[in-house]
Amino acid sequence: MELVPGIKLAVQAVLAEKYNHRIDSQDVLVNETKPEFKGDYTVVLFSYSKILKISPDALGQGIGEFLLNSNPDWFSEFNVIKGFLNLVMADNILIDFLHTQYNNASYGSQSVNGKRVMVEYSSPNTNKPLHLGHLRNNFLGWSVAAIYKTLGYDMIKTCIANDRGIHICKSMVAWKLFANGATPESTGLKGDHFVGDYYVLFGIELKKQVETLMTSGLAREKAEKEAPLMIAAQKMLVDWEAGVPEVIELWKKMNDWVYAGFDITYKRIGSDFDKIYYESQTYLLGKDLVEIGLAKKVFFKKEDGSVWIDLKPDGLDEKIVQRSDGTAVYMTQDIGLAERKYEEYHTDLSLYVVADEQNYHFKVLKLICQKLQLPSAAGLYHLSYGLVELPSGRMKTREGTVVDADDIIDEMTSIAAKHTEELGKVDDFTEKERKELYDTIGLGALKFFLLRVDPKKRMVFNPDESIDFHGFTGPFVQYAHARIKSILRKESMGEYSGSEITSLLPLEKELLISLEKYSSLLQQACTEMNPSLVANYVFSIAKIFNSFYSEHSIGRAESEYKKQLRLRICVMTARVIQSAMSLLGIKVPERM
């Protein structure tokens, strides 16, 4: 039995038995006791005091005495201050907890529950390289999937490659006109960067053409439409849809370059997918649903032949689902893809990790699926996250302020290398071991930085200040782990049955109380789809451990049994750190 639920049940029982007051144990308010008061957990009594018409003080005394008498193995003391009942947990229950769980490799995880969840994340455009925003998306999606998986869900990680459309044609046109047959191989560039350069070039050249046209008297809007480059891109899109062989061939060639580049980055950051959907293969999905929607009178047709849904009764506007020329729009594709996913995987839940700019889109998507009574509707959930911004605001391709993913990863690993070399603690490492360690630390810092913030909130990244390696960071947590491993290499586990030690020092107890919370913390992180809770938790574990470590000697503990107890605390702390960090996609080193 976990501590907090146990306390809630105990309080529920007291209220029923002693005060004849029945409540749901879930409603008992149990907090961690503030450091300035004596105790571990605090029950807030104001609401019961009011209902039962007993003063908070008397009620606290009554409940406290009852709890101590009925659960002497759980509670050792209590005190009441105003309406707060502070409970001191018995050292023995924590010592027992340690003894039974310290070596449990699956501590915190749950057995398979038969539910299936799909999470779509990353979903890049195949015309430019990944940037910092994509990294937040990738880390988030991957981590949420890992958290679900450890709690027993069958996870399917997926990604939709936005591999077609006008934006793709732009880089194709630019390459055709300006590249003179250059390739990633001939230039030595990574494929996604190579193609991205042509996408940027298209923008530059287009701007020139537009300006020329405007000096000859055209309005900007018209000039943008009539610039030869734009006309060429539009034509290429039409040719692509018509399947013109040379266009298809070029499209395939350039996309393959991009995928080769993405593969390198994905491999480096540890992103992986069980299934990849390609927009080029799914963009026509949903067209048949337009007919079904019309038949069900969920959609209606306007005079020009365009098809719409009226969402005004739901507080929204009318939304188009098919153009007057009969072509599909983004929304319709997404409805089709939602159905396709459901047919293929029969998911209980289908998550979309997509930036909060698209909140409205997903609200509408879910509504339409519901109105069409599609089976995919119920589990459809938009896991919305905030953009990564610069101190000056959004990153803009045009202003060259986009923080490139490969660049930032390189920067992080080289800072890790510099720090490590300065400290000189791993001078005996081989070249390969060092490189691995720099990756572990650099990526650890980057992932932790992006995951420690509540996903729903936008966050600021300042390129002028490199991401920290001290304090509330990945390397801080990794360091605590490396320290523990260092101890465990030097000291050996010995005789200890779990009953030789009967009392704990404050830091030992604090650490055990925190370790005990891991399971419920994971449940919460899963329910809220929020890896930042895991990041905050594992940081606090590392912090308490570091205090414990500097306050108490483990190898030279006061007694052999105390040493054995502390070694077990070390083992368990290392396990929890390793486990929690792995859910964030972060490795922990044996030495650093």
Partner RNA sequence: GGACCGGUAGCUCAGUUGGAUAGAGCAGCUGCCUUCUAAGCAGCAGGUCAUUGGUUCGAAUCCAAUCCGGUUCACCA
Q: Are 173 and 234 in contact (CB under 8 A)?
A: no
* Of residues 267-306, those binding RNA (CB under 7 A): 279, 302, 304, 306
Which of residues 226, 249, 310, 357 is near RNA by CB under 7 A? Answer: 357
**Each residue of 187-214: b (16+ CB within 10 Å) or e?**
eebbbbbbbbbbbbbbeebbeebbeebe
Count Cβ atoms below 10 Å from residue 426 Cβ, excluding itself. Answer: 16
SS (H, E, C) 393-437: ECCCCCCCCCCEHHHHHHHHHHHHHHHHHHHCCCCCCCHHHHHHH
Q: Are 88 and 77 in contact (CB under 8 A)?
A: yes
Under the binding rule (CB under 7 A), the answer on residue 330 touching RNA is yes
Task: Please state the closest distance from residue 269 (CB atom) to RNA, in A.
Answer: 19
Nearest-angstrom CA–CA distance, 241 and 233: 12
Nearest-angstrom CA–CA distance, 89 and 508: 13
CA angle 301/307/311 to nearest 5° reads 95
Under the binding rule (CB under 7 A), the answer on residue 224 touching RNA is no
Task: Please state the closest distance from residue 387 (CB atom) to RNA, in A.
Answer: 7
**Nearer of residues 61 and 546 to RNA, judged by Cβ:** 546
How many residues belong to the chain? Answer: 592
Nearest-angstrom CA–CA distance, 573 and 485: 10
Under the binding rule (CB under 7 A), the answer on residue 320 touching RNA is yes
**Which listed range, 75-83, 176-184, 257-265, 395-403, lies at the site for RNA (CB under 7 A)?**
75-83
Under the binding rule (CB under 7 A), the answer on residue 317 touching RNA is yes
Per-residue string for binding with RNA, 228-267, x by CB under 7 A?
----------------------------------------
Task: Please state the closest distance from residue 17 (CB atom) to RNA, in A.
Answer: 23
DSSP string, 203-246: HHHHHHHHHHHHHTT--HHHHHHHSHHHHHHHHHHHHHHHT-HH
Which of residues 5, 6, 165, 463 is near RNA by CB under 7 A? Answer: 165
Nearest-angstrom CA–CA distance, 387 and 356: 7
Nearest-angstrom CA–CA distance, 108 and 541: 15
Under the binding rule (CB under 7 A), the answer on residue 312 touching RNA is no
Under the binding rule (CB under 7 A), the answer on residue 346 touching RNA is no
* Residue 84: strand pairing partners: 44, 81
**Nearer of residues 51 and 204 to RNA, judged by Cβ:** 51
Strand order in the sheet with 75-81: 30-32, 41-44, 84-89, 75-81
* Of residues 545-564, those binding RNA (CB under 7 A): 546-547, 549-556
Under the binding rule (CB under 7 A), the answer on residue 50 touching RNA is yes
**Each residue of 430-441: b (16+ CB within 10 Å) or e?**
eeeebeebbbbb
Task: Please state the closest distance from residue 423 (CB atom) to RNA, in A.
Answer: 5
**Which listed range, 80-88, 111-119, 186-194, 220-228, lies at the site for RNA (CB under 7 A)?**
80-88
Which of residues 206, 416, 451, 504 is near RNA by CB under 7 A? Answer: 416
- Closest by CA position to 347, among listed 369, 382, 372, 378: 378
Under the binding rule (CB under 7 A), the answer on residue 221 touching RNA is no
**Nearer of residues 301 and 346 to RNA, judged by Cβ:** 301
Q: Are 141 and 121 in contact (CB under 8 A)?
A: yes
Per-residue string for binding with RNA, 516-545, x by CB under 7 A?
----------------x---x--x---x--
* Of residues 188-217, those binding RNA (CB under 7 A): none
Under the binding rule (CB under 7 A), the answer on residue 571 touching RNA is no
Under the binding rule (CB under 7 A), the answer on residue 324 touching RNA is yes
Under the binding rule (CB under 7 A), the answer on residue 39 touching RNA is yes
**Nearer of residues 334 and 404 to RNA, judged by Cβ:** 334
Question: How big is the site for RNA, counted in residues (CB under 7 A)?
Answer: 90
Q: Which residues contact 518 (CB under 8 A, 6 or more apart)?
A: 107, 108, 537, 576, 579, 580
Under the binding rule (CB under 7 A), the answer on residue 506 touching RNA is no
**Nearer of residues 317 and 410 to RNA, judged by Cβ:** 317
**Nearer of residues 228 and 305 to RNA, judged by Cβ:** 305
**Which listed range, 201-209, 216-224, 359-367, 401-409, lies at the site for RNA (CB under 7 A)?**
359-367
Nearest-angstrom CA–CA distance, 207 and 479: 51
Strand 380-385, strand 388-389: pairing? unpaired
Count Cβ atoms below 10 Å from residue 299 Cβ, excluding itself. Answer: 23
Under the binding rule (CB under 7 A), the answer on residue 420 touching RNA is yes
Task: Please state the closest distance from residue 340 (CB atom) to RNA, in A.
Answer: 16
Nearest-angstrom CA–CA distance, 85 and 46: 10
Per-residue string for binding with RNA, 452-491, x by CB under 7 A?
xxx-xxxxx-x-----xxxxxx-xx--x--xx-xxx--xx
Which of residues 21, 82, 222, 253 is near RNA by CB under 7 A? Answer: 82
Task: Please state the closest distance from residue 483 (CB atom) to RNA, in A.
Answer: 4
Task: Please state the closest distance from residue 22 (CB atom) to RNA, in A.
Answer: 18
Task: Please state the closest distance from residue 368 (CB atom) to RNA, in A.
Answer: 13
* Of residues 425-454, those binding RNA (CB under 7 A): 425, 441, 452-454
**Nearer of residues 190 and 452 to RNA, judged by Cβ:** 452
Provide the token pair at 194.
């190579």
